[in-house]
Amino acid sequence: MKEKHGQFIKIYWDCDLPTFEYVKGHVSMDEAKKAWEYFFGQYTGEVIESIKHKWARWMPCKTSNYDLLLYTYEEKSKGCFAVTELKIKS
């Protein structure tokens, strides 16, 4: 939650292989790949299929073991920050 523009956002998923990952800010495909590789290493066996610029907000969660959940939106609204959604193909 203290990531800077262009840094990978580490999210703990309930599923084994997430379909999407996120980078803070609206970045290019090359910048998204660099953030991904910096966090996971170059050869993960997964491929970034595409990216999409979205807006996100951390929301408190009272129904699971997590403190916060990341909600994403197509449109900017109050309290949101820019994210780049990486569609992962494994």
pLDDT tens-place string over residues 10-65:
888 776 667 899 999 999 999 999 998 888 776 667 788 999 999 999 988 877 77
Tell me whether residue 27 is in a domain: yes
Tell me whether residue 60 is in a domain: yes
23: its two tokens: 């980078």
Tell me whether residue 3 is in a domain: no
Tell me whether residue 55 is in a domain: yes
Dihedral angle of Cα 26, 83, 5, 65, to the nearest 10 degrees: -170
User: For position 82, what pLDDT does the model report?
Assistant: 97
Instruction: Classify strands 68-73 and 8-9 as parallel, antiparallel or unpaired.
Output: unpaired
Which residues does 37 contact at the CB level (< 8 Å), separation at least 6?
A: none
- Count structural domains, the chain: 1
Tell me whether residue 16 is in a domain: yes
**Structural domain of residue 45, as residue ranges?**
8-89
User: For position 40, what pLDDT does the model report?
Assistant: 79
Distance of CA 49 to the CA centre of its chain: 14
User: For position 27, what pLDDT does the model report?
Assistant: 97
